[in-house]
Amino acid sequence: MIPDWPSERKAMTEQQLRRRGIRDPRVLGAMLEIPREEFVPPESRVCSYGDEPVSIGYGQTISQPYITAFMVELLELQGDEAVLDVGAGSGYHAAVLGALAASVVSVEILPALAAVAESNLTRTGRHRNVTVVAGDGSRGWPGRAPYDAISVAAAAPDVPPALLEQLKDPGRMVIPVGARTDQELLVITRKEGRIESRVATYCRFVPLRGERGWR
Ligand code: SAH
């Protein structure tokens, strides 16, 4: 039997997001709109709307729906932003960003996953304003910089300097920073030349690789 995906998506949005405090109607709308089951590998598809991360192979995971919604809400997107997404993985998070901003560049260090993300985004018709590139996102993606918003889905030992350089004024970045096993999810804002940082929550992400990531 094929699950009723729209009902599962609606239940997830109510129970996992709205009840836990996700309020931005545009974010809730995007989470209701993007077919998460299309981004989950076929063998895990029944878990598409579960309240936990799902393996996407290569030791990587798609974050649980709440974390995606929470990170995206923190970026306060209005619709006209250029966004950098580091860690494309399945492409799901990039699809949600694409529904809320003008354009998204999503960088993925593992070429095989970049291909998966690209194909998922194309199949779901989300590639119009979302571009996947294979490369080291710890160096940002200078070709399309600067960005109004930056979202990082892998944990860094520190904030990579290139990401700060590529963030506009005003601009916002969401990034997990800390030890390999547990981190703080930081919201970094640049406004009128000043950079501020606050801890939004504690979290556990897969490690960021590359030049400014973990060896
Ligand atoms: N946002 C993704 C899940 C990300 S998991 C989704 O919605 O499916 C984190 C991803 O970051 C993994 O795919 C991992 O390969 C990637 N990654 C790790 N270090 C990276 C780097 N330096 N640059 C780009 N991607 C990186």
pLDDT tens for each residue of 51-89: 999 999 999 999 999 999 999 999 999 999 999 999 999
Q: What is the pLDDT of residue 12?
A: 98
Q: What is the pLDDT of residue 81?
A: 98
Q: Which of 63, 90, 103, 151 is catalytic?
A: 63
127 lines ligand 1 (CB under 6 A): no
* Nearest partner of 31 among 65, 5, 1, judged by Cα: 65
Q: What is the pLDDT of residue 143?
A: 97
Going by alpha carbons, the residue nearest to atom 11 of ligand 1 is 87
Q: What is the pLDDT of residue 215?
A: 83
**63 given a catalytic annotation:** yes
Q: What is the pLDDT of residue 52?
A: 96
User: Mutation test of ligand 1: which of 110, 113, 132 has the most ligand atoms closer than 8 Å to its C-beta?
Assistant: 110
How far is residue 132's CA from residue 144's CA, in Å, rounded to a whole number?
Answer: 12
Q: What is the pLDDT of residue 1?
A: 77
- Determine the residue type at 172: R
User: Mutation test of ligand 1: which of 44, 106, 108 has the most ligand atoms closer than 8 Å to its C-beta?
Assistant: 108
140 lines ligand 1 (CB under 6 A): no
Q: Contact 112/58 with Cβ under 8 angstroms? A: yes
How far is residue 162's CA from residue 83's CA, in Å, rounded to a whole number?
Answer: 15
135 CA to centre of ligand 1 in angstroms: 10
pTM, 2 dp: 0.98
- Across residues 186-210, what is the average pLDDT? 97
Tally the C-alpha atoms within 13 A of residue 132's C-alpha that lie toward its C-beta. Answer: 27
62 lines ligand 1 (CB under 6 A): yes
- Across residues 115-128, what is the average pLDDT? 97
Q: List, in sequence order, the alpha helices (H) in the chain.
A: 5-12, 25-33, 65-74, 92-100, 111-123, 161-165
Residue owning tokens 């300097």: 161
